[in-house]
Amino acid sequence: MNPACRLCAAPLTRTFVDLGMSPPCESYLRPDQLDEPETTYSLHVRICERCLLVQLPAHVAAEEIFTADYAYFSSYSDSWVAHAGRFVDDMAARLGLGAGSFVVEAASNDGYLLQHAVARGIRVLGVEPCGGVADAARALGVPTESVFLGERTGTEIAERHGPADLVVANNVLAHVPDLLDFVRGLRALVADGGTVSLEFPHLLRLIEGRQYDTIYHEHYSYFTLRTAAAALAAAGLAVVDVEELSTHGGSLRVLARPGEQRPSEMVEKVLADERAAGLHTVEGHTGFAQEVFEVKAGLLEFLLTAAREGRSVAGYGAPGKGNTLLNHCGVREDLLPFTVDRNPHKHGMHLPGTHIPVHPPERLAEVRPDYILILPWNLRAEIAQQIAYTREWGARLVVPIPRLEFV
């Protein structure tokens, strides 16, 4: 039986891209787990022929992924924290947010964004289901409730705390298997005259930039503005404005409000760009599998050539996207002996599937590799600055996407 579309319930019969089997991208392993069996799930992404939502069936329940052991902490990226600070400044100015306002963030992580609103004296509430990162947010002075947002929990929060002037949902829309319940939760939280702000990777940029490593089990949906607007409309939220961002390889920041609204010219512009790229038709989504092959071929050719020439390679970063890439390409310790990451929660762990060990960044200076493969390529500028010292021994930085490039 074919899975059903999570937006319109039509059967999903058409493939967008099939990346085979892979373990959940955030299921890092302790050394004592390396000889145990690992569960893998399909990364077969389909497109709905009725509503055009590109999506991955919920093979892994959100409750299994976003647990107390979930190891993603937003604050370990300086550029992302700065991005959040600019967002709060912009929204405060645009919406007139102040001491009498109330801001709620869904999937608020470790308080990376709401801390900026707290600093302005704005009343805030985080909604974060992962216990460990929620604790980190509370330590920053960000009140946080550890629940998944849906229509029921959104209604309960609004009844206890009042409706929000601004509801933020950055990089979470793709992470919810029950899409309609989530957007209804957003509507339940926001005041009738309030604003919902969402950021999510733009499918148009994913295709243009060959960003197939952003496909993993906790990303259930891949949105255009058209499909995101359709999802929001199902909950009575209308898109009023959109901004194109460089984050995560190219994202959209969408502002929506309850009821009927007149969209800005920018909304029409982005929709026109999608239409010109063919993304308002099923046929316009074809051909991505060949682009994926080109990325895979380029990375493997580089790693194999380096190995044959006796040159050493280390990784930088242990992001979820890197695990999709390395597992799809079949890269293991023989080609990439280790990677490093700033997140201490990942130190001493091993990447899922590939079992590549994760060390602190100081390991680079100890080993002095010839090449450093940047796995979170969307942070290449920030990372290049952080490890500028590696030039002392002539290390070259390499990014694999959209095509292999030496920085």
Q: Which tokens hold the place of 29?
A: 């392993």
Beta-strand ranges (E) seen in 202-294 are: 221-222, 237-245, 251-258
Mean per-residue pLDDT for 134-151?
Answer: 91
Q: Which tokens hold the place of 91?
A: 């929204």
Beta carbons within 8 Å of 94's beta carbon, 6+ residues apart: none
Q: Does residue 26 register a pLDDT over 70?
A: yes
Q: Does residue 344 register a pLDDT over 70?
A: yes
Mean per-residue pLDDT for 140-156?
Answer: 94
CATH classification code of 288-406: 3.40.50.720
Out of 64-78, 130-144, 240-254, the most confident range is 240-254
- The residue ranges of every structural domain in the chain are 74-285, 288-406
What is the pLDDT at residue 213?
95
How many CA atoms lie within 13 Å of 302's alpha carbon, on the beta-carbon side?
Answer: 26
Torsion angle of C-alpha atoms 195, 198, 202, 203, degrees rounded to 10 = -100
Q: Does residue 35 register a pLDDT over 60?
A: yes
**Cβ atoms of residues 329 and 292 within 8 Å:** no
3-state secondary structure of 349: coil
What is the pLDDT at residue 59?
76
Smallest CA-to-CA distance from 243 within 91, 395, 27, 138 is with 91
DSSP 92-146: HHHHT--TT-EEEEET-TTSTTHHHHHHTT-EEEEE---HHHHHHHHHTT--EE-
Q: Does residue 359 register a pLDDT over 70?
A: yes
**Residue environment code for 18-42, b if the CB has 16+ CB neighbours within 10 A, otherwise e:** ebeebbbbbbbbeeeeeeeeeebbe
Render pLDDT for 261-294 as a digit per residue (tens, 0 to 9): 899 999 999 999 999 999 999 999 999 999 999 9
Q: Give the pairing of strands 313-316 and 339-340.
A: parallel
User: Residue 5 carries which DSSP code?
Assistant: P
Per-residue confidence at 78, pLDDT binned at 50, 70, 90? confident
Mean per-residue pLDDT for 59-74?
Answer: 56
User: What angle do helix axes 265-276 and 225-233 make, rounded to 10 degrees?
Assistant: 120
CATH classification code of 74-285: 3.40.50.150
Q: Which tokens hold the place of 281?
A: 């038709």
Beta carbons within 8 Å of 189's beta carbon, 6+ residues apart: 104, 106, 149, 154, 157, 158, 163, 164, 167
Q: Does residue 73 register a pLDDT over 80?
A: no
Mean per-residue pLDDT for 55-66?
Answer: 71
Q: Name the phi and psi angles at 324, rounded to 5.
A: -60, -50
pTM reported for the whole predicted model:
0.89
Q: How far apart are CA 269 and CA 122, in angstroms?
A: 33
- Per the listing, tokens 């029409």 go with 268
What is the pLDDT at residue 246?
87
Q: Does residue 72 register a pLDDT over 60?
A: no
Intra-chain end-to-end CA distance of the chain, in Å? 47
